[in-house]
Chain A
Amino acid sequence: MTITHHLDDSTLMSLAAGSLSQTLAVVAMSHVSACPQCAHELRRMEAVGAALFAAIAPAVLAAPAPVHALARDEAGEYRAAVAAVSPPGDIPEPLARILGPHVNNIVWQRLGPGVWHYKIALSGDAARASGDLRLLKISPGRRMPDHGHRGSELTLILDGAYSDKTGTYRTGDIADLGDDLEHRPVADAEHGCICVVASEQPARYKAMIQKLIQPLTGL
């Protein structure tokens, strides 16, 4: 597995700071578990984060207890899983953990021609579990509808590949998208693509799905 698309530095910072939402953290950590380069960078950012926190937080630390820091530890749970590097071909450990017993029994739901999904249920209260996390399976050569994004979105390739105007994303690669990209991904002509997608904005994602299930000419 040769990884060519990595997490953006700003996403790694958010992960190190514990301020990445749960859905994004699961996918980010799944990439980190397979990517020595991002794992190294994350460790460095955690060290910087420690110094940074100590530098900017003296007033807070003088207060009774940094409870807020404990409360937003959701990313930490997934960081703990990274000690074990996920071997290629396996479902990354942080993702396997959240899939739990369903991991060997994914019941795919058809979304449209050549596209299936599996919505991953999230634990925790509604606030922490905000966003959307799902597996997508796209058949070989299938072209997804042109779509933009609102909020952050992370897509990790688990098997196969897809291409868009920014390049080709293969197993282990992560697409770290902000709200400034409109793209029309195409699944690999031979192997198709299985990926896990975390979005901050489920409503936006629904719009994409609606587009997908509309009868499209030329398909």
Chain B
Amino acid sequence: MPAKKAVPQRGFLRSHAIYGSTGCVERYRGRSVQAVLASLPADQHAVVTLSYLDGLSHSEIAGKLGLPLGTVKSRMRLAYQKIREAVEDLK
């Protein structure tokens, strides 16, 4: 069996399930988060995706979507509450 390859880890990537542990809990959590993400209203899904995937700041997201900054922030909070509830259910 080949030795486990060491993966350079830095910053945000350090905690990525894809680079770190791929244990059962992480995979289950990943699926659960995926399900929650899919169930989010489109407006919350959009801000989360733009923040996490495109790396846009809240102001950049506000500019892109033509929304007030406060609306972007409240959509992020609402989305996170749902995701957090789902993740805590696993504990």
Docked complex: B6-22 residues within 8 A CB-CB of A: 10-18, 20
Whether A189 is near chain B, meaning CB under 8 Å from some CB there, is no
Partner of B70, one of A44, A45, A178: A178
Whether A8 is near chain B, meaning CB under 8 Å from some CB there, is yes
Partner of B10, one of A24, A46, A76, A200: A76
- Chain B residues, Cβ within 8 Å of A55: 30-31, 33-34, 37
Partner of A70, one of B13, B73, B77: B13
Docked complex: A38-54 residues within 8 A CB-CB of B: 44-54
Q: How many chain B residues touch A (Cβ–Cβ < 8 Å)?
A: 41
Query: Shortest CB–CB separation between residue A132 and chain B, in angstroms?
Result: 13
**Cross-chain contact B12 with A73 (CB below 8 angstroms):** yes
Query: Shortest CB–CB separation between residue A202 and chain B, in angstroms?
Result: 13
Query: Shortest CB–CB separation between residue B77 and chain A, in angstroms?
Result: 5
Q: How far is the CA of A3 from the CA of B63 in the complex (A)?
A: 33
Q: How large is the interface on A (under 10, 10 to 19, 20 to 34, 35 or more residues)?
A: 35 or more
Q: Contacts A8-B77, A9-B80, A19-B51 given: A14-B13 contact, CB under 8 Å? A: no
- Chain B residues, Cβ within 8 Å of A24: 57
Query: Shortest CB–CB separation between residue B87 and chain A, in angstroms?
Result: 6
Contact with B along A107-123 (1 / 0, CB 8 A): 00000000000000000
Whether A129 is near chain B, meaning CB under 8 Å from some CB there, is no
**Cross-chain contact B83 with A17 (CB below 8 angstroms):** no
**Cross-chain contact A69 with B12 (CB below 8 angstroms):** yes
Give A residues with C-beta under 8 Å from B: 8-11, 13-14, 16-21, 24, 44-57, 60-61, 66, 68-70, 72-73, 75-77, 79-80, 151-152, 178-180, 200
